[in-house]
Amino acid sequence: MNSALEDQLKSHYFWKFGFSKGGIMTSFDKVGAQRLLVSVKLFYVLLTLLLLKALMHNFSTHIGNNAIEPIWAIKFVSYFPQVYWSVVFLIASIISSFLCLLYTEVKWVRIVTFIAFFLYTSLENSNGKINHGDHLVLIALFCFQFLCLRKESAIKDVIYYSSCLFLILSTYFVGSLFKLKAGIFQLNHDASGIFTLSCMDNLLGYQFLYEKPTFLANILLSSSDIYGFVFYWIGILVEFFVIISFFKGKYLMYVGCLLIGLHTGIALLLDVQFYNNLIVLIPLFVLNPLYTKHKFYAFLK
pLDDT confidence tier of residue 301, bands split at 50, 70 and 90:
low
Give per-residue burial for 163-189: e unless 16+ CB within 10 Å, then b: ebbbebbebbbebbeebbeebeebeee
Task: Label residue 77 by pLDDT band (50, 70, 90).
Answer: confident
Q: What is the average per-residue pLDDT within 230-250?
A: 91
Mean pLDDT computed over 156-178: 93
Q: Is the pLDDT reported for residue 3 higher than 80? A: no
121-132 pLDDT, tens per residue?
A: 998 888 777 778
Q: What is the mean pLDDT of residues 217-221?
A: 90
**DSSP classification of residue 1:** -
What is the pLDDT averaged over residues 189-194? 85
Is residue 260 within 8 A of residue 281, CB to CB? The reply is: yes
Give mean pLDDT, residues 30-35: 74
Asked whether the beta carbons of 289 and 39 are under 8 A apart, the reply is yes
Q: Answer whether residue 157 shows pLDDT above 60.
A: yes
Over the chain, what is the mean pLDDT?
87
Pairwise CA distance, residues 199 & 206, whole Å: 11
CA atoms lying within 13 Å on the CB side of residue 175: 18
Nearest CA to 31 out of 287, 246, 259 is that of 287
Per-residue pLDDT band for 221 (boundaries 50, 70, 90) equals: confident
Please state, for a pLDDT cut of 70, what percent of the chain lies above it: 92
**Could you tell me which of 54, 5, 88, 39 has the C-alpha nearest to residue 253?**
39
Gyration radius from the chain CA atoms: 21
pLDDT at res. 158: 87
Spell out the alpha helix ranges (H) of the chain. Answer: 2-10, 28-57, 59-63, 85-102, 107-124, 135-144, 154-188, 199-207, 215-222, 225-241, 249-270, 275-281, 295-300
What is the predicted pLDDT for the residue at 145?
Answer: 95
Q: In terms of pTM, does the model score above 0.85?
A: yes
Q: Is the pLDDT of residue 30 over 90?
A: no
Residue 4's Cα: distance from chain center in Å? 32
The sign one gets for the Cα dihedral 126, 130, 134, 139 is: positive
What is residue 1's predicted lDDT score, i.e. its pLDDT?
53
The amino acid sitting at 58 is N
Has residue 116 got a pLDDT over 90?
yes
Assign 119 a pLDDT band (cuts: 50, 70, 90): very high
